[in-house]
Structure 1
């Protein structure tokens, strides 16, 4: 039987199945299913085609998608149509993201609702609320151990509160972003409890083995992610069995080789979409498929799974986008980005190399990344961030570092020492996260202000904060602010006094919202006021600069190792562009006229709002930058 015949045969079975459904399906949904079914069918056969229950599982999945579409509100169906008419909406120069923990920033969901006027003042169009679902008490990885995807943590509110907030945010022009934590559940999820109790259906939802034979075989090729919590990839159960737990011992990996797991998680995904979520952050995408003898990261099936989830969304909730979270080799990060997989992706390489450049006062590795690793397929965008809720890992490619005579391993250890403050002369006051004394590996935790020198009283601290955000705002895609950084909040060192948090240094950079600092945001005699005023000014300029839409970027090199340069061309292709030059060094950099000789002399400094004559050169102070509207000769 050919693939085409299989598709036709199975499509006919689906048509008959739909005709027997008690719940009717409208013509718009049928048309969408007809468009997406060949893709979904191909992906499902690639993942599960050898199983005797493969077609039955596919029919169940179609029912899940159609039921979710039928439950979608008229408001959200209208959003689907609006997004279809403007599929590049997320590429606008007006896009600006904010991210926060609900409890740390606003107390609860009602507190977030009360902050909407501030979000509008700041210019947000995208708000990522960190995991807010029911989770275990005590240590729960900041909410990334989910016990129920359909229940909000009672301390934060209810699902009805979340739906109402999503609607009110949308009215304010702000898209709600939530995590879809689909690699694992908490060990307190109902599925996990049933698996532990020996229910054969739910035992197959996880990867459970009776002894160490297969865990030992897998661990010969997998890596330890959180060695402080447990060695290897497995943890013991109370009955002597072993279960896969990539991250923390209370986070049990799901078994996507079982199609029932895929269908169940598709149902959870569509439930969230129907609450009004517009972007789902796909957590830990690299880890979702396992195969013996491999690292069990970024396997081909991981991409097929994401594409299949994408196809399900296109049927039931097509306005929703995926954002990839893949902290892997830079080449692998880009593999997840496409209109058919994840339309958005964090840009961990630019984030890490911004901090690398500030520590070394050398922008060459950052420049190389912009030159060679920035381009994306049409219909996609980076999410550029200075830091997030998570640690900073040095994810640059060793082969890129070698081009500058840098040995990747020792360089990472230097960066760790520098940002922890162990290196003589460091301006940073960060914490090590998951430091492994055996390998020397570690990652870095800290707020932007503490890492950039403000906590240490370094004279360049404020400029570094602004420079790092200026790069995130000008390189393309969606810039993302960790809320609190815009008023230069410092580390919360009190996490060390909390027995539930002292083992996770990332709580240092998740401080409670400082009412004092936010009250100072208009007072330029304060650090908070100066940083806020400068960042708010950049946000306003960016929103008024069409060249900053999309991802297109043209490298612009200077003779200065400390200066990173690029142009953001105008969409009309007429030779206009915005030239960005940024100096990560501690000394002034003078850009001579011959460097800009290919540009007309008259330019406009968009940040200062004054004309500039390029024939006189451009002077960049230490940690300074310019956004210049220019025209090619």
Structure 2
């Protein structure tokens, strides 16, 4: 029996057995599941014509291939995080990356750089233009030539000021059929919401009143993927991004894109199939392109987006930020260890995207089931003491619950549950060292590189809690503080760059290298990585407390015939019967391979 997504073994015609025929075959299979009543052959060809107008450029992708190594580090940034008077912000961003990070990172995730009406870019007015306040496509192309370019594909919703929605309100094509509508009589009681606004928005149209679905805000109107013509428009947008050098696609809020009243409207089967379809459409044209799903949902549901290694190449490790912050606050890695032991190793061709700070806050949904409500409440309370804010979400059936903590990660590391202390920088670097050593690709927010503090002025100006962690730096001022080696910003930047520059030379830190959790007590979070050729082992040992910790080297089971060195400090360990003495928040990457790449 032939399963969905498999190529028929009995296809022997040498003319038909080509990349383009295989491309068509896979696309039709996806379409049969998403749109049962569609003419799948004709529609599949229309998608192929968009993505691969020259059939000779279509290439069959290799399966289970890792398109990444330990050298891959992504920086997350807005296009205007750095500002220079008289210069397009995207040009300033490239200058900064070339000057300070050329040998440290190789990928840049530019958050939505298109014209928008709200949500700092995630309410897109025009998918095909660069926001003129940032620059133009030539600036995007220049960044793509120097770094792997990661871009958001924001397709759950678009702006209420978009051309499509203006057409919807006028009752004209094509936009009049591009938005998902419901009625107040529909059962929406089970719908999972990340926000507290009313789900349905009443809009007057020439056909009468209609209620449009708004998952996030009334300015962000949800698109209707039940309409295949909308899908075709989205595919045109994907092709445009590929042509401008995008090689990593972040599928923003993808879990919400298919709606069926009476259900949770979250991660429905059609949603997963659309992800599979987008992967197929992209990888036959650009075999090394990567799809990353952004699904801020409980851990088990998030893992489902790997599919059978045929959906996302990578998924955001959303549980890591709240668990790691909690571990640092409590000086206990109990929950972090339990979670880590439960995480399945990513199969070849898939991996995790690890992050602990982003343009959004510290999501709390991914901590549900991993931390108690009381522990989450204590963490929220302490983050508020450190200057943070809390965003809420609506619960099915009524009520609200904390959805995310809005705070600069540097400020989140001010202290422990006992209050602020003097270990902020050390704690901050320790947290990043843990992330850098874990299985997966690290993504580091630009404001983590810079040790940026809470921006309460921005919150007052915008009225949005998330603005607290979206500071815009005057680039000349930034240069001056980075040049001052005694400044907090310089110390953080140099400390992070040192960790990264060590990390990218270690084969045992390949995103798919073996990983095992070590049990050295709750005060020391430790794990073992081994390179895929088994020549290098690294013991990542992290003191997550503000107290000295002593670990007998015999507890780590080091091979006595090897020489061991801490990659971070360069200290040699020849007496394997001695003790490992860890200062507060000290990190040791103990390896047996001295001649690393």
- Give the conservation status (yes or no) of the 8 Å contact 1:68–1:274: no
Query: Which residue among 274, 295, 319 is the counterpart of 1:326?
Result: 295
Q: Please name the residue that 1:316 is paired with.
A: 285
Q: 1:319 to 1:440 in 2, by over 3 A?
A: closer
Classify the secondary structure of the residue corresponding to 1:450.
helix
Structure 2: give runs of 5+ residues left out of the alignment.
none
Aligned mates of 1:29, 1:400 — CA distance in 2:
51
Partner Cα distance (1:245, 1:294) in 2:
16
1:563 aligns with 2:540: no
Deviations 1:269-298 (A, max 9, x none): 111111111111110111111122211111
The one of 480, 483, 486 equivalent to 1:519 is: 480
User: Please, which of 413, 416, 435 is the counterpart of residue 377 of structure 2?
Assistant: 413
Paired with 1:307 and 1:537, the residues of 2 have a C-alpha distance of 38
Corresponding position: 1:133 with 2:111:
no
Cα distance, 1:435–1:287 mapped onto 2, change above 3 Å: closer
Question: Is residue 461 from structure 1 mapped to residue 428 from structure 2 by the alignment?
Answer: no
When normalised by structure 1's length, the TM-score is: 0.84
Give the superposition deviation at 1:522: 5.0
1:237: which partner in 2?
203
2:29 counterpart SS class: helix
Q: CA deviation at 1:592?
A: 2.1
Q: Does 1:199 align with 2:172?
A: yes
C-alpha distance after superposition, 1:513-565 (max 9, x if no partner):
25444433354322122222221111111122111112334324334212211
State the match for 1:489 in structure 2: 452
Matches within 5 A, 1:87-486: 87-90=65-68, 92-106=69-83, 108-121=89-102, 123-136=104-117, 140-167=118-145, 169=146, 174-199=147-172, 201-209=174-182, 211-214=183-186, 217=187, 219-227=188-196, 230-231=197-198, 233-239=199-205, 240-337=209-306, 339-396=309-366, 398-401=368-371, 408-421=372-385, 428-434=386-392, 438-453=399-414, 458-486=421-449
Distance 1:417 1:454, change over 3 A: closer
Note the alpha carbon deviations across 1:393-443, whole angstroms, 9 max, x for none.
Answer: 123454444xxxxxx22222222111111xxxxxx3322224779534241
Give me the whole-angstrom Cα distance separating, in 1, the residues matched to 2:311 and 2:71.
24
Distance 1:400 1:520 in 2: 39
Provide the C-alpha distance between the structure 1 equivalents of 2:252 and 2:150, rounded to a whole number of angstroms: 12
Asked whether the equivalents of residues 69 and 317 of structure 1 are also in contact (C-alpha less than 8 Å), the reply is no
Quickly say closer, same or farther: Cα 1:247–1:38, change in 2 above 3 A.
same
Match of 2:20 in 1: 33
Superposed CA offset, 1:555-604 (max 9, x none)? 24334212211111022225x41001112222222112441235437421
The verdict on how the C-alpha distance between 1:627 and 1:277 changes in structure 2, with shifts beyond 3 A counting, is same
TM norm structure 2: 0.88
The CA deviation at 1:122 is 5.6
Q: Secondary structure in 2 aligned to 1:155?
A: coil
Paired with 1:3 and 1:627, the residues of 2 have a C-alpha distance of 45
String of CA shifts for 1:140-180, please: whole Å, max 9, x gaps: 1110011111111111122233234323x2xxxx2011101
Q: Is the 1:562–1:583 contact (alpha carbons within 8 Å) kept by the matching residues of 2?
A: yes
Instruction: State how far apart, in whole Å, the 1-side matches of 2:590 and 2:16 are.
Output: 48
User: Is 1:584 the counterpart of 2:544 in the alignment?
Assistant: yes
Match of 2:49 among 52, 63, 88: 63
Aligned-partner Cα distance in 1 for 2:179–2:393: 29
Q: Once the two structures are superposed, what CA deviation does each residue of 1:178-219 show, in whole Å capped at 9, x if it has no partner?
A: 10101111112222111111136433211124x4222xx1x2
Tell me how far apart the structure 2 counterparts of residues 99 and 316 of structure 1 sit (CA, whole Å): 26
What 5-or-longer segments of structure 1 have no aligned partner?
A: 16-26, 402-407, 422-427
Q: CA deviation at 1:299?
A: 1.1
Q: 1:61 to 1:115 in 2, by over 3 A?
A: same
Shift of 1:110: 2.2
Measure how far apart 1:354 and its partner are: 0.7
What does residue 626 of structure 1 align with? 588
Q: How many residues align?
A: 572
Contact kept? 2:20, 2:55, Cα under 8 Å: no
Cα shift at 1:34: 2.1
* Compared CA separation, residues 34 and 346, structure 1 to 2 (3 A): same
- Give the C-alpha shift of residue 464 in structure 1: 1.2
Q: 1:438 to 1:292 in 2, by over 3 A?
A: closer
Whether contact under 8 Å (1:522, 1:532) holds in the other structure is: no
Q: Which range moves more in the overlay, 40-49 or 27-36?
A: 27-36
CA RMSD of aligned residues (A): 3.1
